[in-house]
Amino acid sequence: MKHLSDEELVRLYVSTQRNPYFEALYTRYCDKVYRKCLSFTKNSERAEDFTHDIFIRVVTKLSGFREQAKFSTWLYSVTYNYCMDQLRSPRQKEVYSDEPYEGVGMYDDDDAEVAEMEAQRLNKALDHLTSDERGLLMMKYQDDISIRDIADAQQITESAVKMRLMRAKEKLRKRYLEALIFWILVGIKALTSFK
């Protein structure tokens, strides 16, 4: 079964309903999906429950997979949407405005600033973002999902994705710099008290 592509496995599973085809897909992606859930929940038991629900959801939706995107992109979209829905706080359920707001320029595809961030501090800064913002940034920078595919997954326009990404990046940058300045101040204080 190793020689079959993901899309071929999906077609075979949908037409025959035989478990081995699904199990092959599961084997290929279970760790990846579990890790994404773990990134969101930071709790192994909850990540396990999320992974279980996501694969059940995937099986029930497989016949609707139209192969407009790669299977992996589709699966990650289902995963992100599920995690974001589950972890969205009631306060966050307000309607998003995708209008540009003052203080933020146009969407910039130059990600040099993101690339220069230090991993552990980035992880901490991400904790201060909402699940939607975190999900969007992870789709773009961790899984390299295109703006168009993110827009399809979220059922919003490409310009709305760009606007939300820009806002999330801006918030991440602020949180990251705040943490950086805090640790610099702690370092300076420690040095001066040592003298």
Binding site for another protein (CB under 8 A): 17, 19, 22-23, 26-27, 30-31, 33-35, 38-39, 44, 48, 51-52, 55-56, 59-60, 114-120, 122-123, 126, 137-138, 141-142
CB-nearer residue toward another protein: 33 or 69? 33
- CA 4 to chain CA mean position, Å: 27
CB-nearer residue toward another protein: 87 or 114? 114
Nearest distance, CB of residue 55 and another protein, angstroms = 5
CB-nearer residue toward another protein: 92 or 123? 123
- 3-state SS of 105-157? CCCCCCCHHHHCCCHHHHHHHHHCCCHHHHHHHHHHHCCCCCHHHHHHHHCCC
The encoded tokens of residue 140 equal 């773009």
Quote the CA–CA distance of 165 and 163 in Å, as a whole number.
Answer: 5
Nearest distance, CB of residue 159 and another protein, angstroms = 23
Nearest distance, CB of residue 48 and another protein, angstroms = 6
Nearest distance, CB of residue 102 and another protein, angstroms = 28
Nearest distance, CB of residue 3 and another protein, angstroms = 22
Quote the CA–CA distance of 62 and 139 in Å, as a whole number.
Answer: 21
Contacts of 6 (CB under 8 A, 6+ apart): 25, 28, 70, 71, 72
CB-nearer residue toward another protein: 157 or 178? 178
Measured CA angle at 42 (ends 36, 48), to 5 deg:
60
CB-nearer residue toward another protein: 119 or 190? 119
